[in-house]
Structure 1
Amino acid sequence: MDQYKRMGLFNRLTPPRGLVAGTVAAIAVAWTVSALEPGSSSTAPIVQSAIYLALLALTVANPRLKVKVVRTVQRWTINPVMRALVAIGLNPLGLAILETRGRRSGLPRRTPVGNGRKGESFWIIAEHGLRAGYVQNVRADPHVRVRLRVGLRYRWIPGIAAVLVDDDALARQRHIVAWHPLRALNAINVRVLGADLVVVHVRLDWFGKSDGAVKSTRTLESTEARKDVPVNN
């Protein structure tokens, strides 16, 4: 019995896969940027490193509390700014906007996400897992739109989304990044801010022919993970 208790405690105190690597990468980026600025103070990278380490500790100690804290900050500060920037054509981080329909209100909900477009597929690594509001919206109604830059203009592309609970989020993330610097930066942020990653796949409909006669979300969740580019664990 004591052995099982110790194993349970060990599991609870073990950080999620990829979190430590993401934290180390985020700290390295902070110090690298500081080093590249002549005469810059070390205060900023020290503060950033402390924040990243605090998020790591909070993830281990209380993942639910971390999700609440990060979601609150994102909802009231980061997301509105990014939505406004993309709306006027400015997108320094190379993000996209995912539009879902609120599962309770029925109103459009727009969330900045990493640009995970691969051909006719759009991949999202949701840092808050099944707790994310847009993930819950997708499970209630898979019909979504994604605002992407096509050529010199931004367009809304309709699609059908599915939550792939059995897909390997870290392996999928590595495939999405593919040495792209902005996607790599977003991947670091997702790992640092996240607590329970999950994959969302959107099948883009470039000709706008998506309609209600589509497979159910449950069917999509079980089939889409086996389509497209395979991921090696």
Structure 2
Amino acid sequence: MEPYERMAGVVRWVGSGAVVVAGLSWAMWAADPTAPSSPIQPLIITGVMVANVMVTVAAPATKRRAVILVQRWCVNPLVRALFRIGFVPFGFALVETTGRRTGRPRIVPVGNGRVGDTFWLVAEHGLRAGYVVNIRANPDVRVRIRIGLRFTWIEGVATVLVGDDPFARQREFCGLRPLRWWNAMNVRALGVSPVTVRIDLDLSGVRGVPRNADVVGGHRYR
């Protein structure tokens, strides 16, 4: 793929997420009767999204480091704490990999992607994401998903699909599910070079799992 085509794909990927996030901020402002007459908040969010696209094109490595920093120290600890107390938002799950250097478990929250016996996720930082590097070194993983009212760990084998189209894959496993699409738009807005990961789950011996129904899945800790 030529550099121009690659960059056009990145802009399309990030831009679509940015448009949705900015659009939702304007929709919420318009629908809120208590909102101030001046749309300061949606203007700020729109400006941030425009800057986000520009930074993705001009300095992708800087954006990647900034997003990873926020996820590592703010988002991931919050989601991990919610899992520990049993109060977890729908649309989240955990993926556990083995650290390629330490050999220790590494857990990250990921977006909902379970379809039957397969758990799909799109890594926004592509092959540079820590858990993707871990998977390529050791494909044996565990996924913590909601089954009924409880969460359980399920073992699986992960494969990084370098040649897969993450746009098409998101459309496939998101379907008409709003929570999955919300996570997908955030992944697009925050991402730089996304890659698809497929996890084949071992559901044998796991009770209460409808094989052809979706179960809430996840996002990740580092």
Same fold by TM-score, threshold 0.5 exceeded?
yes
Whether contact under 8 Å (1:100, 1:134) holds in the other structure is yes
Corresponding residue number in structure 2 for 1:200: 197
In structure 2, give the amino acid aligned to 1:149. R
TM-fit CA distance, 1:85: 1.0
Q: Which of the two has higher C-alpha Rg? A: 1
Corresponding residue number in structure 2 for 1:150: 147
Which of residues 112, 115, 128 is equivalent to 1:115?
112
Does 82-91 or 153-162 show the bigger shift?
82-91
Residues of 2 paired with 1:205 and 1:192: CA distance?
32
Residues of 2 paired with 1:100 and 1:35: CA distance?
43
Which of residues 101, 124, 127 is equivalent to 1:127?
124
Identity among equivalent pairs (%):
48
Secondary structure of the structure 2 residue equivalent to 1:56? helix
Residues of 2 paired with 1:12 and 1:120: CA distance?
32
Whether contact under 8 Å (1:103, 1:136) holds in the other structure is yes
Secondary structure of the structure 2 residue equivalent to 1:18? helix
Residues of 1 paired with 2:24 and 2:82: CA distance?
24
Corresponding residue number in structure 2 for 1:44: 41
Structure 1: 4+ residue segments shifted above 6 A: none
Whether contact under 8 Å (1:127, 1:194) holds in the other structure is yes
Secondary structure of the structure 2 residue equivalent to 1:161? strand
RMSD of aligned C-alpha atoms? 1.8
Correspondence 1:29 to 2:20: no
* Structure with more contact order per residue of length (Cα contacts < 8 Å, sep ≥ 6): 2
Corresponding residue number in structure 2 for 1:228: none
Corresponding residue number in structure 1 for 2:63: 66
| Aligned residues between the structures | 202
Residues of 2 paired with 1:208 and 1:79: CA distance?
30
Residues of 2 paired with 1:30 and 1:119: CA distance?
34
TM-fit CA distance, 1:18: 2.1
TM-fit CA distance, 1:52: 1.4
Q: 1:128-172: per-residue Cα shift (whole Å, max 9, x none)?
A: 000100000000111111110001101111100010001111100
Q: In the TM superposition, what are the counterparts of 1:201-216 in structure 2 within 5 Å?
A: 201-207=198-204
Q: TM-score, normalised by structure 2?
A: 0.85
Q: TM-score, normalised by structure 1?
A: 0.82
Q: Which runs of 5+ in 2 are unaligned?
A: 207-222
Whether contact under 8 Å (1:59, 1:195) holds in the other structure is yes
